[in-house]
């Protein structure tokens, strides 16, 4: 079976549409919305194409009408784009986001998979790092051979004892310095992290033509074009940068 593994689409339709991989099953690890400005098209794609999907923290925030206030970095961008997200999705689409499970167990070719947006300990919000010690503590009682996670926007594959952790990175807003859409293919018990060019300027145009505040437009254009934001000492606080957690 050929599995397409996606995470963190973030309403970037141009990036999602550019992925033309054939697949037998599609797994989506949450965060369909916020940051990008085409949430409805991305939600509909997932509803039609995904075999399995779980809820991300941004999906949860939109579904529950959580307001975010931040003065810098991604927290600021979440707050200003969430209002646009709410305006551009239907009640049915909002309910779909809220109905997504926070964790899901599935079998792929007789292999047990655990799907979660963040970590098994904190499915929505905990940031993970590609560190064996970090993951050993979180997988001690997990009955699965493959654990698929997103949330960090940084791709990695990590062996932890007899388990495998896969983070496919972000489709819609990579933050590892490479702006290309990122995803993974799982086939014949092999995993490949892949990157693909997409028409970034289409996404940029949707931002520039929106009614977002000018500072937000500038930050979004930067991250879409460069795959990240300026360092904290430049006056922009990169709130969502993964940090080691105990």
Q: Tell me if 153 sits within 8 A of 169, measured CB to CB.
A: yes
Q: What is the pTM of this model?
A: 0.93
CATH class held by domain 2-102+171-234: alpha beta
> Would you give the DSSP letter of residue 229?
-
Q: Where are the domains of the chain?
A: 2-102+171-234
| DSSP code per residue over 31-96 | --SSSSS-HHHHHHHHHHH-SEE---HHHHHHHTT-----SSHHHHHHHHHHHHHHHHS-HHHHHH
Distance CA 27, CA 54 (A): 9
pLDDT on residue 238: 37
Closest CA to 68 of 57, 60, 79: 79
pLDDT on residue 235: 35
Distance CA 74, CA 84 (A): 15
Instruction: Name the strand (E) or helix (H) holding 129.
Output: none
102-124 residue pLDDT tens: 999 999 999 999 999 999 999 99
Q: Residue 28: pLDDT above 70?
A: yes
**Confidence category of residue 128, pLDDT binned at 50, 70, 90:** very high
């Amino acid at each position: 079976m050929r599995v397409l593994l996606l995470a963190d689409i973030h309403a970037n339709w141009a990036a999602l549409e550019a992925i033309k991989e054939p697949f037998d099953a599609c797994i989506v690890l949450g965060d369909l919305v916020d940051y990008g400005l085409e949430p409805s098209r991305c939600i509909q794609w997932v509803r039609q194409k995904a075999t399995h999907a779980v809820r991300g923290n941004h999906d949860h925030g939109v579904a529950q009408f959580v307001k975010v206030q931040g003065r810098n970095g991604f927290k600021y961008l979440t707050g200003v784009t969430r209002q646009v997200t709410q305006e551009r999705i239907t009640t049915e689409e909002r309910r779909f986001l809220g109905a997504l499970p926070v964790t899901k167990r599935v079998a792929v070719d007789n292999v047990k998979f655990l799907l979660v947006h963040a970590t098994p300990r904190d499915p929505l919000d905990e940031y993970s790092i590609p560190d064996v010690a970090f993951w050993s503590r979180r997988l001690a009682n997990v009955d699965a051979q493959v654990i698929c996670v997103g949330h960090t926007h940084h791709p990695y594959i990590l062996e932890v004892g007899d388990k495998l952790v896969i983070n496919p990175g972000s489709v819609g807003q990579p933050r590892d310095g490479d702006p290309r859409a990122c995803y993974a293919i799982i086939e014949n018990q092999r995993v490949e992290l892949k990157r693909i060019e997409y028409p970034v300027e289409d996404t940029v145009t949707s931002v520039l033509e929106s009614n977002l505040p000018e500072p937000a437009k500038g930050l979004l254009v930067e991250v879409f074009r460069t795959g990240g934001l300026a360092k904290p000492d430049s006056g922009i606080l990169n709130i969502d940068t993964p940090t080691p957690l105990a």
